[in-house]
Structures are given as structure tokens and as C-alpha cells.
Amino acid sequence: MEHAPHPHIEARKKHGVHTTAKEHTGFNGWLAVNITNLVGTMWCAYAFTILALISLPEAIRGGTAPLVAWIAQTFLQLVLLSIIMVGQKVAAKASDKQAYQTYQDAEALLEISNDLHKLLKTNNQLTEDIHKLVERADAADLTKG
């Protein structure tokens, strides 16, 4: 029986590793990714901090409730949004690296599996050849004796 590699191997080679950069969902996805890339920077977080600090004196003058509202609704939401997005981008890059490494490991395992299949086939053929030789030798001994 001739070895035929699984068809998934060729499909896998054509597509390559899945990464966040390869994920596209049309115009809306493109737009969302570009806005996320713009807002998800530390420079944007710094700009949002400056923007939020402009209204801080007014919040302080307003007392406890306006100050708490400023912290929760203005500073945390505005500034942490960008910082969290930066963290997500870093995590996505790490995830992409892990996916690429896993992909390479799987490729190596598929090659090893293919090589093992070839070795087993060769081993089976050699065993069959040896068996036939032994049978012939036994048959020759029986005819002599």
C-alpha cells in the first residue's frame, strides 16, 4: 500500500499559520482594526490623560460626588481604555508568536510522522524479503535431506 499524506497537510501549507493580522471582516473589520490601532497606543493614553486632566479642577471644586464621577467616568474610562487596548495588542502579539511556534512544531511532527511511515514501509518490506529467503532456505534444506 502506497503512503498518501493526509490532504490536510497540503491545505495547511497553503494557508500558513493563523495570526491576528490575517483576520479581516470586510470594511467594518478594517475600520475597527485601524481605529483600535490608533486608540490603542500609549501616546493616545497620554493624550486622553491630558484631556481628562483639563476637567479635573472643575471636578475638585464640585466636591466628592463630582470628583468620584470624574475619576470613574472620565479618567478611568478614557485613559484605561487605551492602556487596556495596548495590553491586548501585546497579548495578541504574544499569542501570534505562540501560534507560529505551535504551527512550526506541528509541521515538524507531520514530517516526522511521514518519515516514520516510510521507515515502517521499508522495515515491512525487508521483513517480508527475509521471511521469503528463510522459507526458500527451509524448502531447500527439506529437498536435500
Neighbour count for residue 103 (Cβ, 10 Å)? 16
Domain ranges across the chain:
20-144
pLDDT tops 70 at residue 1: no
C-alpha cell, 127: 521483513
* Per-residue pLDDT tens digits for 125-143: 999 999 999 998 888 887 8
Q: What is the pLDDT of residue 129?
A: 95
Query: Pick from 107, 40, 116, 113: which is nearest to 79 by CA?
Result: 40
Q: What is the pLDDT of residue 3?
A: 66
Region 81-90: mean pLDDT is: 90
* Per-residue pLDDT tens digits for 24-76: 678 988 888 888 888 889 999 999 999 999 999 999 999 999 999 999 999 99
Are the CB atoms for 16 and 130 separated by under 8 Å?
Answer: no
